Structure 1
Amino acid sequence: MIRSHMDHIVITAPSLELGAEYVRQTLGVSPQAGGEHPRMGTHNCLLKLGEKLYLEVISINPNAPQPARPRWFQLDEPDPSQPVRLATWIARTNDIHAAATASPIPLGEIEPMSRGQLNWLITLPADGSLPLHGIAPALIQWTAGGHPAARLQESGCALVRLEGFHPEPQEVINMLESIGFDGDFRVSELPPDQKPYLVAHIQTPAGIRQLSASGFSLNPDAPQAG
């Protein structure tokens, strides 16, 4: 039987420095250094949110060669109005092949990936796009090296819930049911002329804070999201 759970949430940014600063200003905690993804030409930093749950800040690695395919998470085609944003989330599954087949939403091909000693399989659209604009999760299955959250320092932060907003919420609900998802993810309807977005409610040492797709201004003097 297919079973899936929330694995991590993904913040995309023009650079790791900007993404990490958004997290620091919003949550009051700085993410830890992660590593590089050789196949994608990207790198990341991470923040522990639970036993098998974390936040990932990811950006193009300026020191890595251009990959032969579009990068994941729409990093090659960023939204200029939201340079730093909570872009999508990842669901961990016990059978990625069965879950990808069962999903009524096309999730792309199942690709092997690695970062240091970590190895996993993940669903990736060939064009690097985000299924249902990031409201539907990518699927991941860890194959070797354990889970990244086990290597992270305690942050004092925990994910309370993740919310999605989409003009067709039933599409998201049907997809999650098809992969046997078990977790606190809520999806609400948006008017058809509005962009889908995510909001993560996170318990921090200073109280509950929100990360969202409203992003983070490149102007350090401008008001910040969250």
Structure 2
Amino acid sequence: MHCALDHLVISAGNLETGRDWAQNLLDIAFGARGEHAHMGTHNHLTGMDRGAYLEVIAIDPEAAQPTHPRWFDLDNFSGGPRLSNWVINVDDLDAALAVAPIGVGRVVAFERGVYRWKMAVPESGVLPFDGCFPALIEWQSEHPAPALPNHGLALRRLKLSHPNAEALTTALEPFGEAMENVRIVPARVPSLHAEIGTPSGEIWIT
């Protein structure tokens, strides 16, 4: 099974607030707004190195309320914008789910414009290890990254902090190909931190 980092997720209570926060922090501009009708969310994207991208996402107040929990636990989001999740791209989602921990989710098919993908979405909206375990995605069309704005962003390091760091490390072993820039450390409070190379220097997103 081939896998790689697909994207990093910045969640926000309001999309424009989240976009402006990320743009000011990184000194770059995001692409146009997109919508996810099935999840009742909307987002902005910008490209990163190695074919990955950075996403700012929030509940769309004009979308219909879904009958299921939204992804990335957005139904329970509060506070300011922050790095909330990460996503791994796999070439065989069924094989990935077979070696992933319980709770990664059920397979849901999505389509937007020319892009089609399958993604494992937790029934509760919360990914294992308090969101420190990645969401799993399989693209069934061209990947969107080449068409996104490219400002030279580069992931230097993704740090996953969790009280049960040893178990998280074990759970991620089948996905080692995507772990090149990922570090797992013990901590009392689960969190994600990403060091990003930008035109203005190295920036931490937390």
Whether the 8 Å contact between 1:36 and 1:116 is mirrored in structure 2 is no
Alignment partners' CA distance in 2, 1:180 and 1:95: 15
Where does residue 168 of structure 1 map in the other structure?
164
User: Structure 1 residue 45: deviation in Å?
Assistant: 0.2
Where does residue 179 of structure 1 map in the other structure?
175
Alignment partners' CA distance in 2, 1:68 and 1:17: 25
Structure 2 stretches lacking a partner, 5+ long: none
Alignment partners' CA distance in 1, 2:130 and 2:201: 29
- TM-score by length of structure 1 reads 0.86
Give runs of aligned pairs for residues 110-189 of structure 1, distance below 5 A.
110-144=107-141, 146-182=142-178, 183-189=180-186
User: Structure 1 residue 89: deviation in Å?
Assistant: 0.1
Percent identity at matched positions? 39
Alignment partner of 1:129: what SS? Answer: coil
Alignment partners' CA distance in 2, 1:167 and 1:84: 23
> Which deviations, in whole Å up to 9, do the C-alpha atoms of 1:19-38 show, x marking residues without a partner?
11111221111211141111
Where does residue 3 of structure 1 map in the other structure?
2
Whether the 8 Å contact between 2:7 and 2:52 is mirrored in structure 1 is yes
Alignment partner of 1:162: what SS? Answer: strand
User: Structure 1 residue 175: deviation in Å?
Assistant: 1.8
Where does residue 210 of structure 1 map in the other structure?
204
Where does residue 81 of structure 2 map in the other structure?
84
Aligned with residue 97 of structure 2, among 97, 100, 114: 100
User: Structure 1 residue 84: deviation in Å?
Assistant: 1.3
Alignment partner of 1:123: what SS? Answer: strand
Alignment partners' CA distance in 2, 1:179 and 1:51: 17
Where does residue 223 of structure 1 map in the other structure?
none
User: Structure 1 residue 15: deviation in Å?
Assistant: 1.4
Alignment partners' CA distance in 1, 2:172 and 2:113: 30
* Count of aligned residue pairs for this structure pair: 205
Alignment partners' CA distance in 2, 1:133 and 1:181: 22
User: Structure 1 residue 105: deviation in Å?
Assistant: 4.1
Whether the 8 Å contact between 1:41 and 1:66 is mirrored in structure 2 is yes
Higher helix content, 1 or 2:
2
Give runs of aligned pairs for residues 22-41 of structure 1, distance below 5 A.
22-41=21-40
Alignment partners' CA distance in 1, 2:150 and 2:51: 12
User: Structure 1 residue 51: deviation in Å?
Assistant: 4.0
Alignment partner of 1:195: what SS? Answer: coil
Q: What code does the residue aligned with 2:85 have?
A: T
Alignment partners' CA distance in 2, 1:131 and 1:32: 30
Alignment partner of 1:21: what SS? Answer: helix
Q: What code does the residue aligned with 1:140 have?
A: I
Alignment partners' CA distance in 1, 2:2 and 2:115: 22
Structure 1 stretches lacking a partner, 5+ long: 213-226
Matched, 1:49 2:48: yes
Alignment partner of 1:159: what SS? Answer: strand
Alignment partners' CA distance in 2, 1:179 and 1:29: 30
